[in-house]
Structure 1
Amino acid sequence: MNGAKRRLLIFEQLKEAKSVEVKQLAKQYEVSPMTIRRDLSLFAKQGLVSLNYGGAILNEGSGVEASFSLKAAQAQSAKAAIAKEAARLVNEGETILLDCGTTTYEMAKYLSDKAITVITNSWKILQVLQNTPKIKVILAPGTYSRISQGAISSDTIRFIGEHHVDHVFMSTQGLDLAWGASVPDEMDANVKQALMKAGSHCILLADQNKFDQRYFARYAKIDEFDLVISDRQLEEAEEQALKQMRTGYLQVIVHSA
């Protein structure tokens, strides 16, 4: 098992058990205690855990956010299904905005055959689209965020405010149907608000793990989205609430491998 896969599994254990022990993890994954301590130290640098002598404790504050690579490894099948469905909404000749996020990153992979213009503040999305001859890519400027792996600053907001597009595809860290979409970082929320204002239509991509979660900075209420695409099966009350808000909902079916 490679290190990235091991760290993902450890993080899943942390979310469930709230704490882990170095000796137990070393035995479970058949690696040295030093290797596990390095894994936990990486989580600590991101603010995800607090280290103690024998292991680590999960930090669960609303301002905590995992790295892009760690988030990308979670719910991969669901994100791919959501991304594929979202890409079908894009027509030839359109201009779209792609937010920083692991699901919008997946979506970029399904756009290569379309003659479109893509504006994004995500450097990861740029890497996907840089060699696609049909697509004109415009990278928004701004201060680089290691967590989001894209430009997130006041310069980004100013640049986005000077453009208008057909569709905006948004990501989120948390989604609460009563409260809205939220992220841990306030500047990230401000950038996302600018992105949403730049489009004729705004679509939110959110796997079911994002639901019933609230983070520090809310950037939109649910009725500000024209459509939500997710793998979550809504309860009847949730469906009725979305209908009253006139926000569309598209559930994708995720097939296990």
Structure 2
Amino acid sequence: MTLAPRQQQLLDRIHETGYASIDELAQAFAVTPQTIRRDINQLAELGLVRRTHGGAASEGSSTRNTAYSMRAEQMREEKQRIAEAVAAAIPDHASLFINIGTTTEAIARALLNHRGLKVITNNLHVAATLAGKDDFEVLVAGGMVRSDGGVVGQAAVDFIQQFKVDFALVGISGIDEDGSLLDFDFQEVRVSQTIIDNARQVFLAVDSSKFGRNAVVRLGSLSLVDRVFTDHAPPAAIAQQLQQQKIRLDIV
């Protein structure tokens, strides 16, 4: 099928950025949001994009994540709202795990007004953000350093297993409709599983573009999580999983 010129341009833009909201697309193409929604629906029916709440995402690959620089720019406002809500739920003088991800990096920035936190992380960006606070204690897992600042490998797993903390603040690359938590790097997943296993409460911070997103490595199920923070109500199948598991949902 041959796409209309605007639809092809819209598709190119979504593929270039990985995600685009309806509002930004409407502004970029000088049309109404309703027109953009119709275009997105047609592209989704052709399997060219994936509909999300408030926008569209590139179908991409289930085996390879979007580049870090691109992920850092996607859903910035939504991630900021999520980060502020997560930070508000963390008391002063708490102990925390924080894993890899641009959303958890936003959470680290939102935690800077707290006092007396002890943070164990495998994310060098998180460590760099929090290390300047005199009353924070920041511990970094050893292991292989990825280009996005994530630290993975058996050494990271062994390091994290030494601790039992109050809260794990975790991100994820995708949530399947059956409630599976999905990511791209099996080594990263092993570290995140260890983080979850050694925390008294697990907070999952996930923007709505991750609902229904495919990734090849299964971390576990939503049943591992105590509380989910997101920017939009999840699809019905995921919402049902949350309700069945009695997981608190915070929409910000």
After TM superposition, the score normalised by the length of structure 2 is: 0.75
How do residues 82-93 of structure 1 correspond to structure 2 at under 5 angstroms? Answer: 82-93=82-93
| Partner residue in 2 for 1:220 | 220
- Per-residue CA shift, 1:123-181, capped at 9, x if unaligned? 011111121112111111111011x4121111000111111100001111111241411
Question: Following TM superposition, by how much is the alpha carbon of 1:63 offset from its aligned partner in structure 2, in angstroms?
Answer: 0.9
Gaps of 5+ in 1: 1-8, 19-57, 253-257
How do residues 103-114 of structure 1 correspond to structure 2 at under 5 angstroms? Answer: 103-114=103-114
| Partner residue in 1 for 2:130 | 129
| Partner residue in 1 for 2:102 | 102
| Partner residue in 2 for 1:164 | 164
Conserved 8 A contact 2:130-2:138 = yes
Amino acid at match of 2:169: F
- Separation in structure 2 between the aligned mates of residue 79 and residue 112 of structure 1, nearest angstrom: 16
Change beyond 3 A, Cα 1:149–1:243: same
| Partner residue in 2 for 1:178 | 178
Change beyond 3 A, Cα 1:65–1:216: same
Conserved 8 A contact 2:178-2:237 = no
| Partner residue in 1 for 2:151 | 151
* 3-state secondary structure, aligned to 2:218: strand
Q: Percent identity?
A: 23
Conserved 8 A contact 2:179-2:238 = no
Change beyond 3 A, Cα 1:234–1:129: same
Q: How many residues align?
A: 205
| Partner residue in 2 for 1:119 | 120
* 3-state secondary structure, aligned to 2:107: helix
After TM superposition, the score normalised by the length of structure 1 is: 0.74
Conserved 8 A contact 1:113-1:134 = no
How do residues 199-214 of structure 1 correspond to structure 2 at under 5 angstroms? Answer: 199-214=199-214
Amino acid at match of 2:87: A
Amino acid at match of 2:107: M
Gaps of 5+ in 2: 1-8, 19-57
Question: Following TM superposition, by how much is the alpha carbon of 1:90 offset from its aligned partner in structure 2, in angstroms?
Answer: 1.1
- Separation in structure 1 between the aligned mates of residue 161 and residue 17 of structure 2, nearest angstrom: 43
| Partner residue in 2 for 1:231 | 231
| Partner residue in 2 for 1:248 | 248
* 3-state secondary structure, aligned to 2:13: helix
- Separation in structure 1 between the aligned mates of residue 181 and residue 13 of structure 2, nearest angstrom: 25
- Separation in structure 1 between the aligned mates of residue 190 and residue 124 of structure 2, nearest angstrom: 18
How do residues 47-62 of structure 1 correspond to structure 2 at under 5 angstroms? Answer: 60-62=60-62
